[in-house]
Amino acid sequence: MAPFRLYNTLSRTIEPFAPADGTTVRLYTCGPTVYNPAHLGNFRTFLFEDLMRRALRLRGWQVEQVMNLTDVDDKIIVRAAQQGKTIREITDPVVEGFHADRRYLRIEDAEHYPRATAYIPEMIALVERLVANGVAYQAEDGSVYFAIGKFPAYGRLSRLETREIQSGARVAQDEYAKENAQDFALWKAAKPEDEACGAAWESPWGRGRPGWHLECSAMAMAILGETLDIHAGAVDLIFPHHEDEIAQSEAATGQPFARCWCHGEFLLTDGTKMAKRVGNVQNVADLRANGVSGAAVRHFVFSTHYRKQLNLSAEALEGSIEAVRRLRDFADRLATATGGTAALEEAAEGLETAVRAAMADDLDAPAAVAALFEFVRAANRELDRGGSEAGPLTRAREVFAVVDGVLDLIPEPVQAEADLAAWVEARLAARREARARRDFGTADAIRDELTARGIVIEDAGGTTRWKVG
Ligand code: AMP
Ligand code: ZN
Is the shortest distance between the CB of 356 and ligand 1 below 6 Å?
no
Q: What is the largest CA-CA distance in the chain?
A: 82
Q: Ligand 1, closest atom to CA 233?
A: 10
Indicate whether 96 and 188 sit together in one domain: yes
Is the shortest distance between the CB of 400 and ligand 1 below 6 Å?
no
Indicate whether 160 and 201 sit together in one domain: yes
Residues 39 and 282 sit within 8 Å (Cβ to Cβ): yes
The answer as to whether 282 is a domain residue is: no
Indicate whether 102 and 160 sit together in one domain: yes
Angle among Cα 137, 141, 142 to the nearest 5 degrees reads: 55
Is the shortest distance between the CB of 232 and ligand 1 below 6 Å?
no
The answer as to whether 132 is a domain residue is: yes
> Closest Cα to atom 17, ligand 1: which residue?
41
> Closest Cα to atom 8, ligand 1: which residue?
42
Q: Ligand 1, closest atom to CA 29?
A: 10
Q: How far apart are CA 337 and CA 325, in angstroms?
A: 18
Indicate whether 118 and 258 sit together in one domain: yes
The dihedral built from the CA positions of residue 155, 159, 161 and 164, taken in this order, carries a sign that is negative
Task: For residue 133, count CB atoms less than 10 angstroms from its CB and return exposed for 0-12, middle for 13-18, buried for 19 or more.
Answer: middle
Indicate whether 445 and 386 sit together in one domain: no
Indicate whether 401 and 444 sit together in one domain: no
Ligand number with the minimum distance to the CA of 33: 1
Q: What pTM value is reported for the model?
A: 0.89
Residues 34 and 67 sit within 8 Å (Cβ to Cβ): no
Indicate whether 262 and 337 sit together in one domain: no
Is the shortest distance between the CB of 33 and ligand 1 below 6 Å?
yes
The answer as to whether 40 is a domain residue is: yes
- The Å distance, Cα 311 to ligand 2 centre, comes to 25
Alpha carbon dihedral 396, 401, 402, 408, in 10-degree steps, equals 130
Mean pLDDT estimate for the chain: 94
Of 210, 244, 269, at which residue does a domain stop? 269
Helix 390-407, helix 365-385: angle, nearest 10 = 150
The answer as to whether 306 is a domain residue is: no
Is the shortest distance between the CB of 294 and ligand 1 below 6 Å?
no
Indicate whether 324 and 372 sit together in one domain: yes
Cis peptide upstream of residue 240 (ω within 30 degrees of 0): yes
The answer as to whether 210 is a domain residue is: yes
- The Å distance, Cα 52 to ligand 2 centre, comes to 17
The answer as to whether 222 is a domain residue is: yes
> Closest Cα to atom 15, ligand 1: which residue?
42
Query: Could you list the pLDDT tens digit for every one of the 469 residues in the chain?
Result: 899 999 999 999 999 999 999 999 999 999 999 999 999 999 999 999 999 999 999 999 999 999 999 999 999 999 999 999 999 999 999 999 999 999 999 999 999 999 999 999 999 999 999 999 999 999 999 999 999 999 999 999 999 876 677 778 899 999 888 888 899 999 999 999 999 999 999 999 999 999 999 999 999 999 999 999 999 999 999 999 999 999 999 999 999 999 999 999 999 998 899 998 888 999 999 999 888 999 999 999 999 999 999 999 999 999 999 999 999 999 999 999 999 999 999 999 999 999 999 999 999 999 999 999 999 999 999 999 988 899 999 999 999 999 999 999 999 887 667 777 888 888 999 999 999 999 999 999 999 988 888 888 888 877 888 888 7
Distance of CA 436 to the CA centre of its chain: 41
Indicate whether 341 and 440 sit together in one domain: no
pLDDT at 162: 67
> Closest Cα to atom 6, ligand 1: which residue?
32
- The Å distance, Cα 427 to ligand 1 centre, comes to 32
Indicate whether 125 and 265 sit together in one domain: yes
Indicate whether 155 and 30 sit together in one domain: yes
> Closest Cα to atom 11, ligand 1: which residue?
234
The answer as to whether 12 is a domain residue is: no
Pocket probe for ligand 1: among 42, 69, 231, the residue whose CB has the most ligand atoms within 8 Å is: 42
Is the shortest distance between the CB of 269 and ligand 1 below 6 Å?
no
Of 411, 431, 453, at which residue does a domain stop? 411
Count of domains in the chain?
3
Residues 365 and 407 sit within 8 Å (Cβ to Cβ): yes
Indicate whether 186 and 217 sit together in one domain: yes
Domain of residue 322, CATH code:
1.20.120
The answer as to whether 395 is a domain residue is: yes
Of 240, 269, 298, at which residue does a domain stop? 269
Domain of residue 28, CATH code:
3.40.50.620
Print the domain residue range for 432. Answer: 423-468
Ligand number with the minimum distance to the CA of 215: 2
